[in-house]
Structure 1
Amino acid sequence: MMLAEDGGEIEGKNDPVTEDSKAGHEGGWHLYILECAGGRLYTGIARDVEARFRAHQAGRGAKFTRSYPPERILLVQPLATRSEALRAEHAVKKLSADAKREMIRAASTDLSSGD
């Protein structure tokens, strides 16, 4: 269900995790993007992003993250339902790696500007 894109390095150190989802990323559903080994991007959904991230790191996640271990969470977007999360995941997976990086940069800018 989850796919990854090849990608270069992400500029900046800010992780654009939304304020609504910082406290453990629990409750509801979330779309997330991970930066993995080699600068690759991995997109998925989860109810508890922190737990899913730890599973990926421990080799219990997707096949891709066993080959390219995740290094950090770049983006978390809370969504109300699993259906919304699946639709968002599908849309993001259609994007190029560059478009995903731009989405991450835009989310980071939104957080730093207080929007």
Structure 2
Amino acid sequence: MILLLTPLQLFKTLSDDTRLSIVLLLREMGELCVCDIGAALDAPQPKISRHLGMLRDAGVLLDRKEGKWVHYRLSPQMPAWAARVIEEAWEADRTAARKLASKLTSVNGTADGKSCCG
């Protein structure tokens, strides 16, 4: 069941630094697995998973399982106004998003070239 995302829900969801960083990183990179997001944000997997769950429950992210790994991306089903808010936030702070993304050598690789989910 898809819930209707309200402006209040979106702004409450994005008010946390970690969740906003995740959203901006996914806007920059497209799709990432949990371990890559954790590596980019230098945060433990349980913390990242908790925040990803909140973003998914709000309708901001979609996930897909590949073996034992879960990959996340921005939901194309979120309301257009919410997508515009995220796009504007990314435009305003794309340098920070690119700095996070630079920690990864590819969508599934870490800065040291080793994939954490491969």
Which of these two proteins has the greater Rg computed from alpha carbons?
Answer: 2
Which of the two has greater strand per residue?
1
